[in-house]
Chain A
Amino acid sequence: MTLRRTLALLLLLPSLAAAQSTSPEEQARGLLEDGRNYRTQGKLKQAMDNFQTIVSGFPNTSYVDDALLEIGRYYLEVDGDVAKARESFERVTKQFPQSDGAPGAYYYLGRLTMDRASSAADLDDALAQFLRVQRLYPRSEWVPRALYATALAHRKSGKLAEATDDARRVALEHPSSDAAPAAQFELAQDLALGGEFRQAMEEFQQVRNRYADSEWAPRALDRITALYRLYGAGKPAFAADPAFSVGTGDTLKDVRGIVMTPARTLWVASDKTKSAVPFGPDGKMGPSLAGEDLQGVGLTPGGDLVVVAARAVRFGPKTLQTFAIPGNKPGETEPLEKLAAAVVTQGGSVLVADEKKKKVFRFDGRYQYQGVFGDAKERQVSRIVLDSEGGIVMLDRDEKTVRVWDEAGRALRAIATRGPGYDLRKPIDVAVDAFRNAYVVDEEGAVLVFSPAGQLLASIGAPELKKPRAVALEPSGAVLVYDEKLQRILRFK
């Protein structure tokens, strides 16, 4: 190419580039939109690349705060890296306090704290973040989400009335926000927990009326059914479902525990087959989990299966954990080999009951021994379950009681051995529904339903039950009972 031509081309290039290029704002906006589309499609890596390109390549555009918010979400929801997520959110609140992304960042910081809260102070901190969103950015789309999160935080703090108010505010003031269906559900749940059962049913119904296509609508149906059964029309009544049949043969022998997941998979822990066997909603059996000397099954707060065997506990399909407590001498440990029950608390602790030690021990999320849970008294705890508020429900076979404790090990309430209309003779299993009603299996032929205050609501048993051994609850409140004598699982609806 001649010099003249080269020069001409060089002179022409900038104008060509100018004619074709878009502004940095437009480019950043395009990257953000594409990134969000990738995220929706599940292409998370590409999404993250886009967001990071905005932060590094277009730092002076008005989309950096949005990108940082998305990056924080990625770290939190995909990587599980809380520290990096927090860093990203804090960058938004500090560097872009007036941006559209700032309220979102405060919201996520609050959620980070609330979801890992182990104390009242943590919850207060979370509440403060949510309040910031409402006060500083009153017209932001994050306000309803923050208000809903406030309701959750209040509920976690045990402030049910405040939780109800917050949830109602979202439902009334922001009915078309994306937080509204969850908030409406939360409102109903809070009312139920507060003993306002009819109102709770109405509010659950509003979830179905207003948000019929949301994930909350079918859950609301289960809740209404459960409530209606107990409180809808006069006395609660449970009738055997003759059409129900699940499992055959050895899977129904020596059953030590049953549990139903939210997805309606029924796990049956049979010591005969030395396994926990799943049965889908269609009754088909799935792949089982092996276990020696099975004692029971349960669920973590996240919905993962917990299978308790005498010497170890299986958490999900992959984690098998033994437990040991400090020995008599420093540096020594003593394995726990007579485990009777185990549960993962909402705070992430693991509680295991040892039959031999007659105590319940607390371990942290990495299964490190923390100490004895609850009071120092010896107890023969044969079952530990969580209620919907994180309360830890323990069945004491010796005392023939059911006690409820909080995360810190403080006693909250108890179901006495005997009371008006009942007498617990041989309590052997317990389950708790979404409203903290306890279903206690008495081997002498009945499943007794108690309110959170310990009042007997219903008795399920004669003539169908001979020797009930284990109990599970369906999401809609129907009761599944394993009868050892009949070697069957019966359903009462």
Chain B
Amino acid sequence: MRVTRAVVPAVLLVVCFAVPSTPQEPPAAPPAAPPSESTQRELQAAQDLLARAMAEFEGPQQSRSIVQFDEIITRLEVLRRTGTLPARGREILSTAYELRARAYYNIGLQEKAADSFRSLVQLNPQYAVSKERVSPKIVEYFNSVKKALVGYLAVSSKPAGAKVTLNGEFLSLTDFFPLEVLAGEYTVEVTREGYRTETRTVSIAPKATQTLQVDLTRTSASAFVVTQPAGVEVWVDGQLRTTTTGSPGPESVETLREKGLDPTKASARTELANLSLGAHTLEFRKKCHEPVKRTINAPEAQDYETEPVKMEESLASLQLRSEPPGGKIFLDGEAMGITPKDLEGICSGKHRIEVKHTSGKFIQDVQMNKDESITLDCPIRPSLAFLGVVAESAAGERVAPEVEEKLTENLSAKITSLNFVPAPRDAVDRVLEAEKLTRRSLLPGGGAEPDVVKKVTEKLKAALDVQGFLLALLPGEKLQRTAVLELLAAGNTDPDSWDVTFGESASYMRFLSAVDRKARLSRPWTGLITVDTLLHEGVPVLRVVPGSPAAQAGLEPAEVLTAVDGKPVKQTLDFLTAVEGKKAKEKLSLHLKGAQGAARAVDLTLAETPQEIPLNDPSLLYNKVMMDLRQQVDGYPGTETAAFARLNLAICAMHFGDFAAAHEHLLKARTELPTRPGISQGTALYYLGLALERLGYKKEAVDAYRAAAGFKDATLFNNDGPSVAPLAARRAGP
């Protein structure tokens, strides 16, 4: 018999087979574990075979495909017998059985066709052959085979939505219309969370329909909640159970309004199912709202309605100021603007505030309560990256991890003037490897050129967003209890070194104290120079700095200062102590006696004098000072503060013998410093001359000195310090 076959692409055939052919399809079974590799290989092989077989099936010699279908069936039946045949495999097997049956039928071997159809139905009792694609005769034949094998089972439950299994295999969820099942004896289990599982035994005969109606007995309670707004987390006894969503149904709108809720904002009625009998604590949480706690008592297994929960907004406000200003604000990682800034409508609770500036950062966790308004000063601190431990001996290598732990423990959170940051190893390695350097290379004697070290530290600064670095060196020649802490500012090449006994916490105290010490960069100033003599009661005025507060107050040499703010002055230190106790713009009350003995009182308003950092002070960590100074330069660009900071950076550079860097700083400071008496452009020119001299540029040095000598009122050290002009003139020579 010649079989007329429609030439249909194999893909479409597969699609046809995949399309459900009965109106009622049982819901998908619960997901199974992923198939093993060998199973997947088998599946893939079967799939490939199926494609070839189907091509053969569509070809002129359809019967040749039977052998291929045989192989597919044999392979997949093995998996089926071992219980490892996944859903996809069942599909392929079903297809193979159907097509083999049809092939047999088309060559007149109807018994064989029937066998295949029987196997198919046993595999999948709900299988249907497509009437649209397959000849009616074959469809009829298939149906006849099927009828002899399957019966029907319908299960309904109260309440519906229960899971039905037959002999442990999932069938469907109630309520469902009769589903085809192979005739036989079955144990039917009907289960639903919160209800007792019901078990029935049924016997299904071919063509017969078995109907089961199961009343489920409730074992747990349910509570129903409505919240305003929606999106509220509902926690039951400390566990998150659900989040309210949606909107209330029209039937509850009126009720909600009566209870003071806005139905347009309220959630749908949300079930908290399977509550064990007894009391439960419900907590309602939503960001930016005050949490609400309720207790519900569920003595019986039934539904309980709870009072709607209206959540109150819980907001606070934050005023952020930073020194220097202009820092980028991040609230819990979200950018919120630039300091100074007032932030309104911030949710109460714990927040992490970060203010990031080119010169450092500020990080603090803040707890904010409802309606609280917090003003937070955010002092920007430079960040110090801990790059790790470098050992110079095998013994040192062994203890390096312990040392790193001890150092982090003793330094982290104890340095108050810097952010101590353990540097991510990978990030550091990347930067160093790009320049073929190691951590040891960054230290003196490490073999790297200073320019390279400078460049690498700038790269590390950018990569880690820090301003300085700390390395710990375990020197080989010393006992293995000592670590040398090397503190290096970015862009510098000469670290400050400090020995610590790394196992002793007390050993770190002096280092911490030195790190946190802030160099004095300014002080309150009067411009009044007095001297101590044995000839006077009080201290005579020797000099008044032009333009100073003392000059403005009309004080003159030879007057004798006898009291300050009501306290007698016996020596100049008494006067200086009184000044140090005040700040710029505050007033000082002076009592003086004139040359003729006439007494007078004068009020003086203090100004501020910049203060040079000493070129050599063993108690200062100059690298740390440089980090602080760079913060001023970056934080207050274009101001006198930045200019004075540059001058001091130049001095720091000279401390390290880096006159080239000093020269660079001084060139900038020279134009930015003021020209008034005191620390001024003349000061910068003098130091510029010193730097040029040390760099070997004698002629340029002389020019700088001569220029400095032209600033008659410029001083060194501070506004009261020695005059630059004669010193510069002497250095310039004739």
A-to-B contact residues, CB < 8 Å: 23, 25-26, 138, 141, 143-144, 161, 165, 168, 172-177, 198-199, 201-202, 204-205, 208-209, 212, 221-222, 224-225, 228-229, 232-234, 476, 493
**Cβ contact within 8 Å between A208 and B614:** no
Q: State the CA gap A225–B533 with chains docked (Å).
A: 5
Asked whether, in the complex, the Cβ of B571 is within 8 Å of the Cβ of A177, the reply is no
B535 touches A198 (CB 8 A): no
Q: Given A208-B571, A224-B533, A476-B534, are A138 and B657 neighbors across the interface (CB < 8 Å)?
A: yes
B722 partner residues in chain A, CB cutoff 8 A: 168, 172, 199
The reply to whether B615 and A173 contact each other, CB–CB distance below 8 Å, is: yes
- Provide the residues of chain A in CB contact with B478, threshold 8 Å: 25
* Chain B residues within an 8 Å CB radius of A224: 531-533
**Do A225 and B534 touch across chains, with their CB atoms under 8 A apart?**
yes
**B605-649 interface (Cβ within 8 A of A):** 614-619
Would you call A201 and B531 a contact (CB within 8 A)?
yes
Is there a chain A Cβ closer than 8 Å to B529's Cβ? yes
Q: Shortest Cβ distance from B25 into chain A, in angstroms?
A: 84
**Cβ contacts B709-734/A at 8 Å (1 or 0 each):** 00000001100001000010010000
Docked pose: A224 CA to B539 CA in angstroms: 11
Q: Can you name the residue of chain B whose Cβ is closest to the Cβ of A476? A: B534
Given that A205-B572, A232-B542 are known contacts, is A172 also in contact with B615, CB under 8 Å in the complex? Answer: yes
In the complex, what distance in Å separates the CA atom of A162 from the CA atom of B531? Answer: 26
- Whether B78 sits at the interface, judged by CB under 8 Å, is no
Residue of B nearest to A201 (CB): B531
Check: B543 CB closer than 8 A to any chain A CB. yes
Q: Which 6 A-B pairs have the closest CB atoms?
A: A173-B615, A225-B534, A225-B533, A205-B531, A233-B558, A174-B616
B683-711: which residues lie under 8 A (CB-CB) from chain A?
none
Majority SS of interface residues in chain A?
helix
User: What are the residues of chain A within 8 A of B532 when measuring CB–CB?
Assistant: 205, 208, 221, 224
Q: Is A165 a contact partner of B730 (Cβ separation < 8 A)?
A: yes
Q: Is the CB of B716 within 8 A of A172?
A: yes
Cα distance A476–B533 in the bound complex, in angstroms: 9
Q: How many Å lie between the Cα of A168 and that of B479 in the bound state?
A: 41
Task: Given the known inter-chain contacts A23-B479, A161-B730, A232-B542, please indicate yes or no for A212 contacting B573, CB distance below 8 A.
Answer: yes
| A144 (CB) vs chain B CBs: closest residue | B616
Q: Let me know if A177 and B573 touch, CB within 8 A.
A: no
Give the residues in chain A near B727, CB-CB below 8 Å.
165, 168
User: Can you name 8 A-B pairs with beta carbons within 8 Å?
Assistant: A143-B616, A144-B616, A165-B727, A174-B614, A201-B542, A205-B529, A224-B533, A229-B533
Is B595 at the interface (CB under 8 A from chain A)? yes
B298 contacts the other chain (CB 8 A):
no
- 9 additional A-B residue pairs with CB within 8 Å, beyond A208-B573, A224-B531: A172-B717, A173-B615, A209-B572, A209-B573, A221-B532, A222-B534, A224-B533, A225-B535, A232-B533
Known A-B contacts A172-B615, A174-B615, A228-B540; A208 and B572 likewise in contact (beta carbons under 8 Å): yes
| Residue in contact with A228 in the complex, picked from B479, B535, B616, CB distance below 8 Å | B535
**For the complex, is B576 an interface residue (Cβ under 8 Å from A)?**
yes
> CA separation between A208 and B557, bound complex, in Å?
20
Whether A176 and B617, one on each chain, are in contact in the complex, defined by CB atoms closer than 8 angstroms, is yes
Closest to A493 in B: B535
Task: Scan residues 522-559 of chain B and give those whose CB is less than 8 A from a CB of chain A.
Answer: 529-535, 540, 542-543, 557-558
Chain B contacts of A225 at CB under 8 A?
533-535
CB distance from A187 to the nearest CB of B (A): 9
Is the beta-carbon distance between B540 and A232 smaller than 8 angstroms?
yes
Residue of B nearest to A26 (CB): B479
* B717 cross-chain contacts in A, Cβ below 8 A: 172
Contacts of A138 in B (CB 8 A): 657
**A202-B529 contact, Cβ under 8 Å, with A144-B616, A172-B716, A208-B573:** yes
Q: Which residue of A lies closest to B614 (CB)?
A: A175
* Cβ-defined contact, A204 with B616, below 8 A: no
B533 near A141: Cβ-Cβ < 8 Å: no
CA–CA, A172 and B572, complex, Å: 20
Contacts of A198 in B (CB 8 A): 542-543
Interface core residue of A141, A174, A199, A228 (most chain B CB under 10 Å): A228
Which residue of B has the minimal Cβ distance to A222? B534
Most buried by A among B533, B543, B573: B533
Contact indicator B531/A176 (Cβ below 8 Å) = no
* Segment 2-40 of B: residues with Cβ below 8 Å from A: none
Residues of A close to B730: CB separation below 8 A: 161, 165
Q: Number of B interface residues at 8 Å Cβ cutoff, please give it.
A: 31
Q: Give the distance in Å from the alpha carbon of A176 to the alpha carbon of B619 in the complex.
A: 9
Max chain B C-beta neighbours (<10 A), residue from A172, A199, A208, A212: A172
State A143–B479 Cα separation when bound (angstroms): 29
Q: How far is the CB of B438 from chain A (nearest CB, A)?
A: 25
Q: If A168-B722, A233-B595 touch, does A221 touch B542 (CB 8 Å cutoff)?
A: no
Please measure, in the bound complex, the distance between the C-alpha atom of A202 and the C-alpha atom of B657, giving whole angstroms.
31
Closest to A168 in B: B722
Complex: A232 Cα to B558 Cα, angstroms = 8
Q: How far is the CA of A228 from the CA of B558 in the complex (A)?
A: 10
Kindly state the separation between the CA atoms of A79 and B21 in the bound complex, as whole angstroms: 120
**Known A-B contacts A144-B616, A172-B717, A209-B576; A202 and B533 likewise in contact (beta carbons under 8 Å):** no
Task: Give, as a whole number of angstroms, the nearest-CB distance from B104 to chain A.
Answer: 93
- A298-B681 Cα distance, complex, nearest whole Å: 52
Are A202 and B531 in contact, with the CB atoms below 8 A? yes
Contacts of B595 in A (CB 8 A): 233
Contacts of A476 in B (CB 8 A): 534
Q: With the chains together, A26 CA to B480 CA distance in Å? A: 12
C-alpha spacing A175/B612, complex, angstroms: 12
Beta-carbon nearest neighbor of A475 in chain B: B534
- Smallest CB-CB separation from B558: which chain A residue? A233
Complex-state Cα separation, A173 to B727, whole angstroms:
15
Whether A141 touches B529, Cβ cut-off 8 Å, given contacts A26-B479, A209-B576, is no
CB distance from B54 to the nearest CB of A (A): 86
Contact yes or no, B531 A233, CB < 8 A: no
B542 lies within 8 A of A173 (CB):
no
Residues of B contacting A177 in the complex (Cβ-Cβ under 8 angstroms): 616, 618
Query: How far is the CB of A127 from the nearest CB of chain B, in Å?
Result: 19
Contact A176 B533 (CB under 8 A): no
Is A172's CB under 8 angstroms from B614's CB?
yes
Measured in the bound complex, the distance between the Cα atoms of B615 and A165 in whole Å is 15
Cβ-neighbour of B542 out of A141, A161, A172, A202 (below 8 A): A202
A205 surroundings in chain B (CB, below 8 A): 529-532, 542, 572
How far is the CB of A177 from the nearest CB of chain B, in Å?
7
Residues of A contacting B573 in the complex (Cβ-Cβ under 8 angstroms): 208-209, 212
Q: In the complex, what distance in Å separates the CA atom of A82 from the CA atom of B507?
A: 41
Give Cα distance in the complex from A202 to B479, angstroms.
50
Contact pattern, B 560-585, Cβ under 8 Å of A = 1, otherwise 0: 00000000000111001000000000
Kindly name the residue among B531, B543, B557, B617 whose own CB sees the greatest number of chain A CB atoms within 10 A: B531
- In the assembled complex, the CB of A23 is this many whole angstroms from the nearest CB of chain B, namely 7
A173 CA to B651 CA, complexed, in Å: 10
Establish whether residues B534 and A221, one from each chain, have CB atoms under 8 Å apart when the complex forms: yes
- Bound CA span A212–B615, Å: 22
Complex CA gap A209/B717 in Å reads: 15
Which residues from chain A contact B572 at a C-beta distance below 8 Å? 205, 208-209
| A234: B residues at CB distance < 8 A | 558
- A141 CA to B618 CA in the complex, in Å? 9
Contacts of B716 in A (CB 8 A): 172
Cβ contacts under 8 Å, B618 to chain A: 141, 176-177
Of A25, A175, A233, which is within 8 A of B540 by CB? Answer: A233
Known: A212-B573, A228-B540. A173 touches B614 (CB 8 A): yes
Q: For window 307-343 of chain B, which residues contact chain A by CB distance below 8 Å? A: none
With A and B bound together, what is the CA distance between A25 and B730 in angstroms? Answer: 49
Q: Mark B471-486, 1 if CB is under 8 A from A, else 0.
A: 0000000110000000
Q: How far is the CA of A150 from the CA of B657 in the complex (A)?
A: 21
The distance in angstroms between the C-alpha atoms of A143 and B616, with both chains bound, is 10
CA of A26 to CA of B595, assembled, Å: 65
Q: How far is the CA of A352 from the CA of B43 in the complex (A)?
A: 126
B614 partner residues in chain A, CB cutoff 8 A? 172-176
CA of A199 to CA of B723 in the docked complex: distance in angstroms? 10
